[in-house]
């Protein structure tokens, strides 16, 4: 459950940073999104971490 909460907060902060015009609010939203993204990786199960780490290396080979 904490993983889901962190992911939802990261997505909401990212969407907020894309929609606001004020620079301070945008920087704060990006910081919250980054913290929640790192927290999500820490809380994720090992299998999901392995998939996320290997995906950039395996992905290009699949689309050649």
What are the two backbone dihedrals, phi and then psi, of residue 10, each rounded to the nearest 5 degrees? -65, -45
Residue 13, both tokens: 């902060």
Total domain count, the chain: 1
Structural domain for 58, as ranges: 2-62
- The whole-number pLDDT of residue 27 equals 94
Q: Strand, helix or coil at 45?
A: coil
What's the pLDDT score for residue 41?
A: 85
Confidence of residue 1 (pLDDT cuts 50, 70, 90): confident
**Helices marked H in 1-64:** 2-19, 23-43, 46-62
Residues 6+ apart with CB under 8 A from 58: none
| pLDDT score at 46 | 92
- C-alpha 26/C-alpha 46 separation (Å) is 32
């Amino acid at each position: 459950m904490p993983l889901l909460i962190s992911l939802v907060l990261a997505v909401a902060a990212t969407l907020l940073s894309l929609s606001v015009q004020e620079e301070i609010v945008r920087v704060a939203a990006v910081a919250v999104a980054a913290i929640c993204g790192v927290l999500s990786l820490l809380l994720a199960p090992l299998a999901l971490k392995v998939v996320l780490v290997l995906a950039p290396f395996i992905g290009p080979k699949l689309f050649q």
